[in-house]
């Protein structure tokens, strides 16, 4: 929590002062009772006293006053609010290494299932497109709110060929350059979710693609798929190995996050997490009204309890 007028928090020094005065008042009250009262007779006449209940109204008063004093400083809190418009490009590796079966039933099938779940989890007002890459990159679905079109594009993906990560990222960035603008002429938010399992073997260097994304202000979240330390062999006897260094570097260069998926369930969980990040954005919001309202309620409750139990305010 932050404050627009933090210097007014100095007024909170009144709270411990009032607490000390209340404790001193209670001690003085007990001293007078002991000095001028026959305790045995008082116990027979009055019976059981209010006990700890006596202190509840004053405590509520102090808490309410604390909240009211905090509200003077105009507190700000980080809250999650829905994004108005976002364009998401899903970039998927369809190289031959995606036939490896270290994820069940194989990497390609697991990636497709997770991609379907990811698309379904996105809010209706978010546009999503699909790019696939092997030796070259292909635009499988332009950014759209039509989820059926994107699902069909995911289902049509077939693996085979090399790994041109830079080309896939470039095609996605081309699409994001055309995303809509707001009334001030600023482009709506855009980001890339890139999934791959292998080392770049073709196309544009990944450093060049990352530099373009950074210049455009586009975050690239990367997902590495496959078993660490394992080198599965696909058709043709070709060994394939996960290159986490490249994927981590792309995410770091663009301000994104790198995720590692060792199992099919991991991949689905990662896509769910990304979907929630895309759907909501954190913003600073003033909560003065909330804090002052809470303080007022606490003071009123303290007063009502004091009247109900003792026929007086604390």
Q: DSSP class of residue 83?
A: -
Same domain assignment for residues 74 and 104: no
**Residues belonging to the chain:** 314
Residue 30: per-residue pLDDT? 65
Q: Which domain holds residue 300?
A: 2-78+285-310
Residue 270 lies in a domain: no
The answer to whether the Cα torsion of 19, 24, 27, 29 is positive or negative is: negative
Q: What is the pTM of this model?
A: 0.62
Euclidean distance between the first and final Cα of the chain, in Å?
31
Same domain assignment for residues 163 and 293: no
CATH of the domain at 88: 3.40.50.410
The pLDDT confidence band at residue 103, using thresholds 50, 70 and 90, is: confident
User: Rg for the chain (alpha carbons), in Å?
Assistant: 31
CA–CA separation, 79 and 274 (whole Å): 18
Residue 278: per-residue pLDDT? 65
Same domain assignment for residues 112 and 29: no
Same domain assignment for residues 220 and 99: yes
Q: How many domains, in total, are found in the chain?
A: 2
CA–CA separation, 257 and 262 (whole Å): 16
Q: Among 86, 92, 161, 99, which Cα is nearest to 128's?
A: 86
Residue 89: per-residue pLDDT? 94
Same domain assignment for residues 74 and 108: no
CA–CA separation, 35 and 48 (whole Å): 19
Same domain assignment for residues 180 and 248: yes
Residue 51 lies in a domain: yes
**Which pair of structure tokens corresponds to residue 176?**
């994001």
Position 255 pLDDT exceeds 60: yes
The answer to whether the CB of 295 falls within 8 A of the CB of 65 is yes
Pairing mode, if any, of strands 137-144 and 233-234?
Answer: unpaired
Of 25-39, 100-114, 145-159, 206-220, the one with minimum mean pLDDT is 25-39
Position 24 pLDDT exceeds 70: yes
Residue 268 lies in a domain: no
Same domain assignment for residues 146 and 27: no
The answer to whether the CB of 313 falls within 8 A of the CB of 303 is yes
More confident site: 52 or 258: 258
Residue 271 lies in a domain: no
Residue 270: strand, helix, or coil: helix
Residue 209: per-residue pLDDT? 94
Q: Which residues contact 161 (CB under 8 A, 6 or more apart)?
A: 94, 95, 96, 134, 135, 136
More confident site: 268 or 162: 162
Q: In whole numbers, what is the pLDDT of the chain averaged over residues? A: 81
Position 140 pLDDT exceeds 90: yes
| Number of other CB atoms surrounding residue 129 within 10 Å | 24
CA–CA separation, 208 and 167 (whole Å): 10
pLDDT in tens, 196-250: 887 788 899 999 999 999 999 899 999 888 777 665 555 555 666 778 889 999 9
C-alpha distances in angstroms, 176 versus 152, 179, 220? 21, 5, 12
Residue 258: strand, helix, or coil: strand
Same domain assignment for residues 94 and 230: yes
Same domain assignment for residues 197 and 215: yes
Residue 22: per-residue pLDDT? 80
pLDDT in tens, 26-81: 777 666 655 555 555 545 544 455 567 777 888 888 898 898 889 888 888 765 54
How far out from the chain centre does Cα 4 lie?
24
Same domain assignment for residues 100 and 240: yes
Same domain assignment for residues 88 and 70: no
CA–CA separation, 63 and 20 (whole Å): 15
Instruction: Give residue for tokens 């979240």.
Output: 221
Query: What residues form DSSP beta bridges with 35?
Result: none
Residue 126: strand, helix, or coil: coil
Half-sphere exposure of 69 (CA within 13 A, CB side): 16
In 57-80, which positions are buried (b, 16+ CB within 10 angstroms) versus exposed (e)? bbebbbbbbbbbbbbbbbbbeeee
Same domain assignment for residues 195 and 139: yes
Position 98 pLDDT exceeds 90: no
The answer to whether the CB of 4 falls within 8 A of the CB of 77 is no
Of 23-27, 29-33, 92-96, 194-198, the one with minimum mean pLDDT is 29-33
């Amino acid at each position: 929590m932050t404050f627009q007028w933090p210097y007014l928090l100095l007024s909170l020094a009144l709270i411990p002062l009032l607490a000390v005065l209340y404790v001193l008042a209670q001690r003085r009250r007990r001293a007078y009772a002991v000095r001028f009262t026959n305790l045995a007779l008082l116990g027979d006449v009055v019976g059981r006293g209010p006990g700890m209940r006596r202190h509840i109204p004053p405590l509520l008063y102090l808490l309410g006053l604390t909240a009211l004093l905090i509200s003077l400083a105009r507190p700000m809190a980080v809250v999650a609010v829905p994004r108005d418009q976002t364009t998401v490009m899903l970039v998927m590796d369809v190289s031959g290494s995606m036939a490896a079966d270290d994820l069940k039933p194989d990497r390609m099938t697991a990636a497709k299932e997770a991609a379907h779940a990811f698309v379904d989890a996105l809010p209706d007002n978010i546009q999503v497109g699909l790019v696939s890459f092997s030796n070259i990159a292909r635009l499988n679905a332009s950014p759209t709110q039509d989820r059926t079109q994107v699902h069909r594009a995911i289902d049509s993906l077939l693996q085979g060929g090399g790994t041109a990560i830079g080309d896939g990222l470039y095609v996605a960035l081309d699409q994001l350059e055309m995303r809509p603008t707001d009334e001030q002429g600023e482009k709506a938010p855009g980001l890339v979710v890139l999934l791959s399992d292998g080392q770049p073997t073709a196309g544009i260097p990944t450093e060049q693609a990352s530099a373009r994304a950074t210049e455009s202000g586009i975050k690239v979240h990367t997902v590495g798929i496959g078993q660490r330390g394992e080198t599965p062999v696909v058709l043709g006897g070709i060994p394939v190995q996960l290159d986490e260094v490249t994927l981590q570097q792309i995410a770091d260069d663009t301000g994104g996050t790198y995720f590692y998926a060792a199992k099919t369930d991991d991949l689905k969980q990662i896509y769910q997490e990304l979907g929630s990040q895309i759907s909501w954005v954190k913003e600073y919001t003033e909560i003065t009204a909330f804090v002052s309202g809470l303080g007022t309620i606490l003071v009123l409750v303290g007063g009502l309890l004091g009247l109900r139990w003792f026929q007086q305010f604390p």
